[in-house]
């Protein structure tokens, strides 16, 4: 498995050019200070330990320029002439230069860390926002198939793991590589032969790193999946805590969570084991290489072909290079581990989103003629049978249609097709003769008000909840919607009225109050089509009668489709659609269906609330 997904996202850091350039430049400056310091220490030792009185800083520099003419060409002659000939003065100058290099390197290192961490954070923030924006536009069928917990885990936890990989790459790995390269160049300065041997054996270390990196990548992918299962399990338990308590199922929930938690530990342990083995193994191989270099150097020194102090400084420089590159084992492991979340994020973002061609599609004119379902079939992904089977239904503009039927007969699925939460497997849904698959989603959903059985209420004020999805809603329009939904009385009773803050899920309100806020939200949109999916299921009979009267007033010039469970709602409908097993079995008014439809009579007697 390659790291192509990780590098796909890592390349985005180049979009922040200033931060990217700053990260690289300050890292190189810091490494250059290290290399200069190593070379200066070699000169310092030569001054202090040398026995030849003619050796001074000026002569050492001249000899270095002679040995390395390419570098010497970059040094002005005036600078060489300025160097002191007194040995003690030369020692003082070198120590002063080392002190300046220390402070300059520390400052460059600070700037590198700041730029690199900011670069990682900003890039991941953009990726997280893009992933969440894409998740909001995913087809509902894809979200239901994968589960909301999986989507949330990939948007939040996986991006956090990706940031860890970015930080390892830009903040730590880059710093270690540049410092290692600087020390390596210093080793070349002292003796290129030892350095060449080190370069030859380096691929062996790389092969070991690559092998362990593959194991870490595979283990990281399994760990993320285990965390995803843990998140799903905890969400299900907390969201369904009422049901768990009433069913005394705490032990079962604890057992399921414990199993998921053990899976996380098991997969995480495998990753940590690979990390733990890789570091000491690389260290042992590096020591072996150093011992081989020492033996080679001893042979050359005894043969008179190498100076002992050059050997010491070359070995010291290689040691510094190795010390700088040693953390790369863990850092490369972090980058390998980040490849797994990168793949998972990329997988979600590769799912085609709704409304991709939104700008290319025409807007749907306001509904004023009919709604037609023509030969509609729909099957949920993974199901072995159709949820809807050849539905043909025509609804005239301004009609009030009630849909009834046994649980699981396809009522909600039929209404979902109208809003294009799903697209038919076969057939078409048409509004005023136009196939809704060929119009922009915004123009379609903008004229359909939907009141679900379980209303969505977010943390925020009542004003924000009722105006959810709409901009620039005035107080008068908000007030009218609340009054139409018979919600104004309980909202006025709150200390802050429409500015009262709601908890998560509308906590603090009764089920009926939450439902009336959802109805107010739908009415505020002034829709041409109103879909009520058992919208009065949590409202008492008196409130239901008031809301029914409000809907009767509101539906003038509008089409209303109600998935109903109350007999009063059904009887007030212009026509009633009876469904069974995904098909429409009969359509007509209450009296006619009571006389001719056995299924409808059974529903009236057993399921419809009187």
Lowest mean pLDDT among 325-339, 412-426, 489-503: 325-339
* Each residue's pLDDT tens digit, 172-181: 666 666 666 6
> In whole angstroms, how far apart are CA 92 and each of 41, 101, 506?
12, 14, 74
**What is the C-alpha separation between 400 and 548, in angstroms, rounded?**
11
Note the maximum CA span of the chain: 124
- The rounded distance, in Å, linking the Cα atoms of 370 and 311 is 92
* Mean pLDDT score, 492-519: 84
Work out the pLDDT band at 109, boundaries 50, 70, 90: confident
Which residues fall within 8 angstroms of residue 483, CB to CB, at 6 or more apart? none
pLDDT average, residue stretch 410-421: 92
Question: What is the structure's pLDDT at 114?
Answer: 85
Return the HEC string of 84-107. Answer: CCCHHHHHHHHHHHHHHHHHHHHH
Cα–Cα nearest to 498, from 474, 531, 530: 474
Give the pLDDT band of residue 1 (cuts 50, 70, 90).
very low
Q: What mean pLDDT comes out for the span 110-121?
A: 86
Average pLDDT of the residues in 531-543? 71
SS3 406: coil
Does residue 395 have a pLDDT over 70?
yes
Q: Which of the pair, 186 or 442, is modelled with greater confidence?
A: 442
Q: pLDDT band at 233, cuts 50/70/90? A: confident
On whether the CB atoms of residues 412 and 387 are closer than 8 A, the answer is: no
Alpha helices in 360-455 (DSSP H): 411-418, 441-445
Question: pLDDT per residue over 63-100, tens digit each?
Answer: 565 565 655 555 666 666 666 666 666 666 667 776 77
pLDDT exceeds cutoff 90 at 391: yes
Confidence at residue 361, expressed as pLDDT on a 0 to 100 scale = 86
Strand pairing of 388-396 and 370-378?
A: antiparallel
Q: What is the full DSSP assignment across 475-519?
A: HHHHHHHHHHTT-HHHHHTSTTGGGPEE-GGGTTS-HHHHHHHHH
Whats the size of the chain, residue-wise? 610
Residues 523, 560, 395, 375: what is their CA dihedral angle, to the nearest 10 degrees? 80
Compute the distance between CA of residue 155 and CA of residue 530 in angstroms, rounded to an integer.
33
For the ranges 226-240, 305-319, 439-453, which has the lowest average pLDDT?
305-319
Task: Tell me the average pLDDT across 579-598.
Answer: 92
Q: CA triplet 497, 498, 504: central angle to 5 degrees?
A: 105
> Would you state the pLDDT for residue 369?
93
State the pLDDT at residue 484.
85
pLDDT bracket for residue 356 (50, 70, 90):
low
Rounded Cα distance between 35 and 338, Å, is 31
- Section 473-483 average pLDDT: 90
Q: What does the block give as tokens for 69? A: 């003419």
Instruction: Name, in order, each residue with C-beta under 8 angstroms of 521's C-beta and a sequence gap of 6 or more.
Output: 449, 451, 465, 466, 467, 468, 481
Say what the pLDDT of residue 135 is. 86
Homologous superfamily assigned to 400-412+442-606: P-loop containing nucleotide triphosphate hydrolases (3.40.50.300)
User: Does 331 have pLDDT greater than 80?
Assistant: no
- In terms of Cβ atoms closer than 10 Å to its own Cβ (0-12, 13-18, 19+), residue 322 is buried
Give tens-digit pLDDT for 551-578: 777 788 889 999 987 777 788 889 999 9
Q: Return the closest-CA partner of residue 318 out of 340, 342, 287.
A: 287
Q: Classify 229 as helix, strand or coil.
A: helix
pLDDT of residue 533: 85
pLDDT > 70 in the chain, percent:
64
Mean pLDDT in residue range 408-435: 92
Asked whether residue 158 carries a pLDDT value surpassing 60, the answer given is: yes
Q: What tokens were used for 152?
A: 């949330």
Is the CB of residue 182 less than 8 Å from the CB of residue 25?
Answer: no
What does the mean pLDDT of the chain come to? 77
Tokens of 105: 């390197």
Mean pLDDT of 25-35: 71
- Domain 4-349, architecture per CATH: Up-down Bundle (1.20)
User: At 293, which helix (H) or strand (E)?
Assistant: helix 250-302
Integer angstrom CA distances of residue 18 from 9, 12, 57, 119, 450: 18, 13, 40, 9, 48
* Domain locations in the chain as residue ranges: 4-349, 400-412+442-606
Question: Do the Cβ atoms of 178 and 28 come closer than 8 Å?
Answer: yes
Strand, coil or helix: 432? coil
The per-residue pLDDT for 580 is: 93
């Amino acid at each position: 498995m390659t790291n192509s997904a990780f590098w796909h996202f890592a390349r985005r850091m180049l979009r922040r050019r200033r931060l990217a350039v700053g990260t690289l430049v300050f890292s190189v400056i810091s490494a250059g200070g290290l290399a200069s310091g190593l070379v200066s220490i070699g000169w310092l030792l030569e001054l202090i330990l040398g026995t030849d009185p003619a050796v001074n800083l000026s002569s050492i520099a001249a000899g270095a320029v002679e040995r390395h003419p390419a570098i010497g060409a970059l040094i002005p002659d005036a600078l060489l002439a300025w160097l002191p000939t007194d040995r003690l003065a030369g020692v003082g100058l070198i120590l002063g230069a080392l002190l300046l290099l220390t402070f300059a390197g520390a400052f460059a290192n600070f700037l590198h860390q700041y730029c690199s961490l900011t670069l990682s954070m900003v890039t991941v923030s953009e990726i997280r926002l893009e992933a969440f924006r894409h998740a909001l536009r995913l087809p509902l069928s894809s979200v239901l198939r994968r589960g909301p917990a999986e989507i949330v885990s990939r948007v939040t936890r996986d991006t956090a793991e990706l940031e860890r990989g970015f930080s390892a790459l830009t903040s730590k790995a880059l710093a270690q590589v540049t410092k290692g390269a600087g020390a390596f160049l210093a080793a070349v300065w002292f003796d290129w032969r030892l350095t060449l041997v080190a370069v030859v054996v380096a691929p062996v270390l790389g092969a070991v790193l690559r092998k362990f990196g593959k194991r870490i990548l595979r283990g990281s992918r399994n760990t993320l999946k285990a965390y995803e299962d843990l998140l799903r399990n905890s969400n299900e338990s907390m969201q369904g805590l009422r049901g768990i308590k009433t069913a005394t199922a705490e032990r079962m929930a604890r057992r399921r969570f414990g199993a998921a938690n053990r899976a996380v530990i098991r997969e995480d342990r495998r990753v940590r084991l690979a990390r733990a083995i890789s570091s000491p193994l690389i260290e042992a191989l590096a020591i072996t290489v150093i011992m081989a270099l020492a033996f080679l150097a001893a042979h050359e020194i005894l043969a008179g072909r190498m100076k002992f102090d050059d050997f010491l400084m070359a070995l010291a420089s290689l040691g510094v290079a190795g010390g700088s590159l040693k953390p790369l084992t863990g850092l490369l492991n972090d980058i390998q581990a980040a490849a797994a979340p990168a793949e998972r994020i990329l997988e979600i973002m590769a799912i085609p989103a709704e409304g991709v061609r939104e700008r290319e599609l025409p807007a749907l004119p306001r509904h004023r003629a009919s709604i037609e379902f023509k030969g509609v079939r729909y099957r949920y992904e993974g199901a072995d049978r159709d949820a809807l089977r050849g539905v043909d239904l025509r609804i005239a503009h301004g009609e009030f249609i009630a849909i009834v039927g046994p649980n699981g007969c396809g009522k909600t699925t039929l209404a979902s097709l109208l809003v294009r939460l799903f697209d038919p497997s076969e057939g078409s849904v048409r509004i005023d003769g136009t196939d809704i698959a060929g119009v922009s989603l915004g123009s379609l959903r903008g004229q359909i008000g939907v009141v679900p059985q379980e209303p969505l209420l977010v943390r925020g004020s009542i004003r924000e909840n009722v105006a959810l999805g709409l901009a620039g809603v005035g107080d008068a329009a908000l007030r009218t919607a609340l009054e139409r939904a018979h919600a104004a009385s309980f909202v006025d009773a709150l200390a802050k009225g429409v500015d009262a803050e709601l908890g998560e899920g509308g906590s603090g309100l009764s089920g009926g109050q939450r439902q009336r806020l959802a109805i107010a939200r739908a009415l505020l949109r002034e829709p041409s089509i109103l879909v009520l999916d058992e919208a009065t299921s949590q409202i008492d009979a008196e409130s239901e009668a008031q809301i029914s009267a409000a809907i009767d007033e509101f539906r003038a010039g509008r089409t209303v489709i109600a998935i109903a469970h109350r007999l009063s709602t059904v009887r007030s409908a212009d026509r009633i659609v009876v469904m069974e097993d995904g098909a429409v079995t009969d359509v007509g008014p209450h009296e006619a269906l009571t006389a001719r439809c056995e299924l409808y009579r059974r529903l009236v007697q057993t399921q419809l609330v009187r």
